[in-house]
Structure 1
Amino acid sequence: MTSHRLQRWAIILMAYQYVVKYRKTTEHGNADALSRLPLGYDKNFDDEEARYNVRELYTPINAEIICRHAENDKVLKRVCSYVQRGWPEKLSPQDADLRPFFNHRFALTIKSNLPCLQTEYNRVIIPASLCGQILRLLHDGHWGVTKMKQLARRNIWWVNMDKDIVEMCSNCDICKVVNPAPARQYESWPDTNRPWERVHIDSAGPVFNSMWLICVDAFSQFPFIVQMTTTTTVHTISALSCGCG
């Protein structure tokens, strides 16, 4: 369950022989200078900084709200009951809605009355009635699919969460614009009004031990084909010149 980044660091460190030594905090002034700056208490600086601190933060969704919705969620109530009493060896066909939780049964737990999924992080299981609101909070800022999944996988989980994230981003015009690899849109060639207004050219082969230069008129679909020994630029220009002549 270790993240790929930590695995790569572990592989890099395996190439070295090193000794870990303890160093006191007072001797760590050269590291993390902003947090370990070896200066005394500065009351004026702290008072000035305190003016910009957030005194009260309104949280749209907190643990109390999640607990209240979880109590009204029939599926989560059954899941919590199984977590506390133990899961059966098999699920009946009538319990198909519990299958995703059954597949993660060894990683499910309850903390502070909240059902959680323990993976690399302790993730709160979101009731179905709050999934839409949580999804909108994740989408705020238009981070894109990858960033939204990273944020979600650190804190929360629900069934088909990744699918819902992909669907929301695919329907968002802003996410499509800022996406480093936006979805490709294909369009047909514009119609032509007369012969030789647009010509499509390509090389084919080897066929019958030869290469073939194929030109097709977009208006009449008339083909012009030349047998060639090679498809270099010089030979291609020569074939086109002879054909035009």
Structure 2
Amino acid sequence: MRVIRLDTFSRLRYELTVVPVNDMEIILHDNRIVIPKDLQMRVIDLAHEGHQGIVRTKQLLREKVYFPGIDKLVEQTCKSCIPCLASTPKNVFEPLQMSEIPNNVWENLSMDFCGPFPNGYYVMVIIDEYSRYPVIETLTSLTAKSVIPLLDKTFSIFGIPKELKTDNGPPFNSGEFRNFADNMGFKHRKITPLWPRANAESERFMRTIGKSNSCSSNGTS
């Protein structure tokens, strides 16, 4: 017969119930079985069969059993599980290279798109990396033929930048856009593919626009 040291549960003594089962008794905390110390690892191993992750293993245990320090012991077990460590992919990122801070306004720009929205329009956002000032235009397609006139209009108002930073989307891969950049005299810098954080200024602004649009679509403010 296994014995549970009740002094461990002194602060929970009014929440424990002794229930007779056949020729023995079990202790319940709410509706969960209190597990003695020498069975705790066995219970965790059973819950971790199939190599569930930390969150799922905790969920399975919390539904049925209780003992002090259950979360910490589950985390230690899962983090030291060799099959889990071997099969879990690790996202290893190269160290971020800090971009130089522009010396003046409208020298270095970031640009991105958001959409399409329910009305069929896209939003084009250009952000000055010095002042964080945004310029927003709407358009119905993301071709170079649609984007270039809007950039031409913007540059005629604010001036031609030294550098324009974009992703690797279709408008920016065409010979037409390369010719536009050469003729206007600005450097077109493409960020690393699949690495949107390299264009953080415009990406952050896009999230704000997307959130506002979602709230509007759901009828909230």
Smaller-chain TM-score range?
0.3 to 0.5
TM-score (norm 2): 0.42
TM-score (norm 1): 0.39
More contact order relative to length (CA 8 Å, sep ≥ 6): 2
